[in-house]
């Protein structure tokens, strides 16, 4: 048998089956398919085989190495079996441009594949080397696509996947919110035209409070044994996470992962198998990793969330003493197997749109405080700023990740007073320039807020007690210039609440028994309306930015519990009192599926859509009003029918009344003379002498 074996062009399976039978392990794993060979005639085939044998014998041990590649004498070990290299040919004897090479085992084949892949063979040929098992796997793929079975995720109930987005298909596009009051938890529909409608609810649904997931897919309830996630149009239990006494939860931005924390002190936890903090995968309900919790400091708030997520769920980070630990998901393993050493780190925050991480460190000895912007996973420092006389720094990312604001509280030269300034980083501009807004020591800066989906921000500051101002600024563009816009003076507000869609903002005064609300249009710089909710404790915009809720929570005030829903321009739509109201939380919406161009088109054609929807609302109001009017008329008609029935019965009973009066026919009470007689009966008379009192005599001086 010669070294060059002729195979039919379309019948390679029997030859490959021969390879499989002679393999000690998995034959296809020890066989390589070498493509990219030159196509030569039968006269040059032996020469090609000799060249291939020399190349592949150098990088691994062939199964049957020949003594003389080209003499056709058979295998070197005397075996009469097939040679280790086979070059298939067509009927004319010309090669087909590929070959099969067999090694003694899969490991030798793998080494040879790496060594010879992309090998330059002559001037115009390059080897493409693949394992035969991979080739067979690819060839076994059907020509027609068959949808794969659904993955074994946790949210499959009764052999049917639960539609977690079904609530978005509501015909009128109504919003949902959850209300926690007393022992009840209710999920409600809100419509500006129709009354509030209950979708689902029950008593003892949760032991403490509820949390919506970031995209609104799940409602989280807390129980003694752990937490449960609910969803779907029928509010079915999706998955349960067994973690006793959970107090806090935190979702990743895209709802892939969940962090639960039960408040267990580090000294009571087991470092080998921690129980305080657990990271879960939501789709499968799997526990990915657990951690020891932070030390419990009685006079300091818990730094929640303990783990902070990157925008794409790809990383999660935790701050420790002099370091920041960044973990890759879903393995929850340390990035590059080491933490980022940051001596004295106080706080950090992820960009909402990029894998950028910003942190700050305080002054130490002669070293200044420092704000550093870092890119991950490269750990490259993109920008840093040294600062002096720093008391505290708060980090505020703009929603689109274009800007970063550092609110810096600084000491005066005497270090007896403080003042505030803002360092504004243009993250996407070249070299990341920084702009500064400064306030004097007498200016008490109370609040800062970026405009969502915009380039503006607002600041509450006051230079005299009891009266302050709200100033608006614009960053203009990604690489523009900071521009003061306007200032609203003489305000007592202490909170800023931008609409999620931008433009509209509420200036709120929430303190003690106050509850003043002022609704502003930032584009037109005008006051749209005002309102007041006595003893208000919480404000929340709905995801669309059309409605604002003010509420009085039982956790903070034991009286006047309830909520009001306002329009964006300050009109109160509804007010409901709820005893022991603990929570009012709007259900979040996922990001729009429309791209920027489609959204721009919708805004351009908004008038045509608005006219249609306003017509539908007017028809619904008219229908509702007519139903109310019809209901009131039906009540009046029923009352009149009852009166007529009573009158008819009175006429029928006239003869009986006449007989009872001794033949007197008149039913008019004025025809009768009323005689009133008073009868007094003496039942008993008793006399008693009070001997306890002293009798008066002639010498007594009293009158």
Query: Per residue in 625-665, pLDDT tens?
Result: 777 777 887 888 899 999 999 989 988 888 888 788 777 76
Instruction: For 57, list phi and psi in degrees, rounded to 5.
Output: -75, -25
CA distances from 154 to 150, 165, 209, 241 (A): 11, 16, 23, 11
**Averaged confidence pLDDT in the chain:** 87
Whether 301 has a pLDDT exceeding 70, the answer reads yes
- In which band, very low, low, confident or very high, does the pLDDT at 702 lie, cut at 50, 70 and 90? very low
pLDDT value at position 178?
Answer: 97
Question: Residues in the chain, how many?
Answer: 703
Please answer whether residues 71 and 77 qualify as being in contact, where contact means their C-beta atoms are separated by less than 8 angstroms: no
- In which band, very low, low, confident or very high, does the pLDDT at 67 lie, cut at 50, 70 and 90? very low
Within 8 A by CB and 6+ apart from 399, the residues are 352, 450, 452, 453
- Least Cα distance to 559 among 609, 601, 512 occurs for 512
- In which band, very low, low, confident or very high, does the pLDDT at 699 lie, cut at 50, 70 and 90? low
Report the alpha-carbon distance of residue 702 to residue 693 in Å, rounded.
14
pLDDT value at position 407?
Answer: 97
Report pLDDT digits (tens) over 358-386. 999 999 888 999 999 999 999 999 999 99
Q: Which two tokens stand for residue 187?
A: 């999920």
Whether 519 has a pLDDT exceeding 80, the answer reads yes
- Least Cα distance to 175 among 452, 500, 543, 540 occurs for 543
Report the alpha-carbon distance of residue 8 to residue 2 in Å, rounded.
16
Long-range contacts of 14-17 (CB under 8 A, 24+ apart): 15/82, 15/86, 15/88, 15/100, 16/100, 16/132, 16/136
Please answer whether residues 129 and 113 qualify as being in contact, where contact means their C-beta atoms are separated by less than 8 angstroms: yes
Q: What is the pTM of this model?
A: 0.68
Mean of the pLDDT values across residues 231-257? 94
Report the alpha-carbon distance of residue 477 to residue 479 in Å, rounded.
5
DSSP string, 237-275: EEEEEE-TT--EEEE-TTSSEEEEE----GGGS-TTS--
Whether 530 has a pLDDT exceeding 70, the answer reads yes
- Least Cα distance to 293 among 281, 305, 306 occurs for 306
- In which band, very low, low, confident or very high, does the pLDDT at 685 lie, cut at 50, 70 and 90? confident
**Residue 230: alpha-carbon gap to chain centroid:** 14
Please answer whether residues 529 and 569 qualify as being in contact, where contact means their C-beta atoms are separated by less than 8 angstroms: yes
Please answer whether residues 388 and 412 qualify as being in contact, where contact means their C-beta atoms are separated by less than 8 angstroms: no
- Least Cα distance to 392 among 417, 369, 367 occurs for 369
Helix (H) or strand (E) holding 116: helix 106-116
Report pLDDT digits (tens) over 151-190. 555 444 334 478 899 999 988 889 999 999 999 999 999 9
Whether 562 has a pLDDT exceeding 60, the answer reads yes
Whether 16 has a pLDDT exceeding 70, the answer reads no
Report the alpha-carbon distance of residue 191 to residue 168 in Å, rounded.
14
Instruction: Tally the C-alpha atoms within 13 A of residue 555's C-alpha that lie toward its C-beta.
Output: 10
Q: Which residues of 277-307 are buried (b: 16+ CB within 10 A; e: fewer)?
A: bbbbbbbebeebebbbbbeeeeeeeeeeebb
Instruction: For 622, list phi and psi in degrees, rounded to 5.
Output: -65, -40
Residue 352: count other Cβ atoms within 10 Å of its Cβ: 14
- Least Cα distance to 201 among 216, 221, 179, 223 occurs for 179
Q: Where are the beta strands (DSSP E) in 283-433?
A: 286-291, 307-309, 315-320, 323-328, 333-334, 340-341, 347-350, 356-361, 369-375, 380-387, 390-397, 403-411, 418-426
- In which band, very low, low, confident or very high, does the pLDDT at 3 lie, cut at 50, 70 and 90? very low
Report the alpha-carbon distance of residue 644 to residue 648 in Å, rounded.
6
Whether 673 has a pLDDT exceeding 80, the answer reads no
Report pLDDT digits (tens) over 252-269. 999 999 999 999 999 999
Please answer whether residues 232 and 217 qualify as being in contact, where contact means their C-beta atoms are separated by less than 8 angstroms: no
Which has more pLDDT, 374 or 137? 374
Report the alpha-carbon distance of residue 597 to residue 138 in Å, rounded.
40
3-state DSSP helix/strand/coil % of the chain, to nearest 5: 20, 35, 45
- Least Cα distance to 260 among 234, 239, 237, 235 occurs for 239
Q: Which two tokens stand for residue 434?
A: 């920084």
**Residue 406: alpha-carbon gap to chain centroid:** 25
Report pLDDT digits (tens) over 199-222. 999 999 999 999 999 999 999 999
Report pLDDT digits (tens) over 532-560. 999 999 999 999 999 999 999 999 989 89
- In which band, very low, low, confident or very high, does the pLDDT at 68 lie, cut at 50, 70 and 90? very low
Using DSSP's 3-state secondary structure scheme, residue 661 falls into: coil
Report the alpha-carbon distance of residue 370 to residue 375 in Å, rounded.
16
Within 8 A by CB and 6+ apart from 531, the residues are 516, 517, 519, 550, 564, 566, 570, 572
Q: What radius of gyration, in Å, describes the C-alpha atoms of the chain?
A: 42
């Amino acid at each position: 048998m010669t070294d060059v074996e002729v195979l039919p062009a379309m019948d390679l399976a029997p030859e490959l089956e021969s390879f499989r039978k002679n393999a000690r392990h998995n034959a296809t794993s020890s066989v390589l398919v070498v493509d990219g060979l030159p196509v030569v005639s039968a006269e040059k085939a032996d020469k090609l085989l000799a060249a291939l044998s020399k190349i592949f014998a150098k990088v691994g041990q062939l199964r049957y190495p020949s003594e003389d590649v080209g003499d056709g004498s058979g295998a070197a070990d005397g075996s009469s079996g097939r040679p280790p290299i086979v070059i298939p040919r067509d009927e004319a004897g010309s090669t087909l441009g590929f070959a099969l090479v067999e090694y003694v085992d899969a490991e030798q084949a793998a080494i040879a594949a790496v060594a010879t892949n992309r090998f330059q063979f002559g001037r115009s040929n390059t080897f493409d080397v693949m394992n035969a098992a991979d080739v067979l796997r690819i060839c076994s793929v059907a020509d027609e696509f068959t949808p794969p079975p659904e993955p074994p995720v946790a949210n499959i109930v009764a052999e049917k996947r639960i539609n977690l987005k079904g609530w978005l298909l509501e015909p009128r596009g109504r919003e949902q919110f959850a209300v926690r009051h007393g022992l009840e938890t209710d999920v409600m529909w809100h419509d500006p035209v129709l009354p509030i409608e209950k979708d689902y609810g029950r008593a003892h649904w949760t032991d403490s409070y509820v949390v919506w997931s970031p995209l609104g897919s799940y409602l989280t309830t807390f129980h003694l044994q752990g937490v449960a996630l609910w969803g779907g149009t029928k509010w079915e239990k999706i998955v349960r996470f067994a973690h006793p006494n959970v107090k806090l939860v935190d979702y990743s931005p895209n709802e892939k992962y969940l962090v639960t924390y039960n408040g267990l002190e580090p000294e009571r936890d087991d470092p080998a198998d921690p129980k305080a903090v657990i990271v879960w995968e939501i789709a499968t309900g799997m526990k990915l990793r657990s951690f020891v919790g932070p030390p419990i400091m009685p006079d300091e708030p818990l730094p929640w969330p303990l783990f902070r997520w990157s925008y794409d769920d790809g990383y999660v980070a935790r701050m420790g003493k002099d370091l920041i630990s960044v973990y890759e998901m879903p393995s929850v393993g340390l990035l590059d197997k080491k933490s980022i050493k940051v001596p004295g780190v106080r706080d950090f925050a992820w960009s909402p749109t990029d894998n950028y991480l910003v942190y700050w460190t305080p002054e130490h000895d002669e070293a200044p405080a420092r704000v550093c912007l870092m890119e991950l996973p490269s750990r490259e420092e993109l920008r840093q700023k040294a600062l002096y006389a720093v008391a505290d720094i708060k980090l505020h990312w703009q929603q689109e990740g274009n800007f970063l604001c550092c609110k810096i509280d600084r000491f005066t030269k005497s270090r007896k007073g403080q003042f505030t300034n803002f360092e504004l980083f243009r993250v996407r501009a070249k070299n990341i320039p920084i702009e500064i807004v400064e306030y004097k020591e007498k200016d008490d800066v109370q609040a800062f807020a970026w405009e969502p989906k915009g380039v503006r921000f607002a600041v509450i500051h006051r230079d005299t007690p009891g009266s302050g101002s709200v100033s608006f600024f614009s960053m203009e563009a990604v690489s523009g210039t900071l521009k003061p816009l306007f200032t609203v003076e003489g305000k007592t507000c202490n909170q800023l609440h931008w609409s999620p869609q931008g433009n509209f903002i509420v200036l709120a005064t929430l303190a003690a028994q106050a509850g003043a609300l002022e609704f502003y249009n930032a584009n037109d710089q005008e006051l749209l309306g005002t309102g007041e909710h006595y003893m208000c404790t919480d404000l929340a915009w709905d995801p669309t930015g059309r409605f604002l809720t003010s509420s009085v929570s039982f956790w903070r005030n034991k009286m006047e519990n309830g909520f009001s829903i306002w329009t964006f321009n300050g009109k109160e739509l509804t007010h409901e009192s709820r005893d022991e109201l603990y929570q009012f939380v709007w259900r979040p919406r996922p990001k729009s599926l429309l791209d920027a161009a489609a959204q721009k088109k919708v805004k351009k054609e908004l008038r045509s859509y608005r006219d249609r929807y306003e017509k539908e609302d007017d028809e619904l109001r008219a229908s509702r009003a007519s139903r109310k009017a019809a209901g009131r008329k039906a009540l009046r008609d029923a009352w009149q029918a009852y009166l007529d029935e009573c009158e008819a019965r009175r006429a029928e009973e006239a003869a009986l009344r006449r007989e009872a009066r001794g033949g007197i026919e008149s039913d008019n009470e004025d025809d009768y003379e009323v005689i009133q007689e008073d009868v007094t009966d003496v039942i008993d008379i008793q006399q008693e002498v009070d001997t306890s009192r002293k009798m008066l005599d002639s010498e007594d001086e009293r009158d």
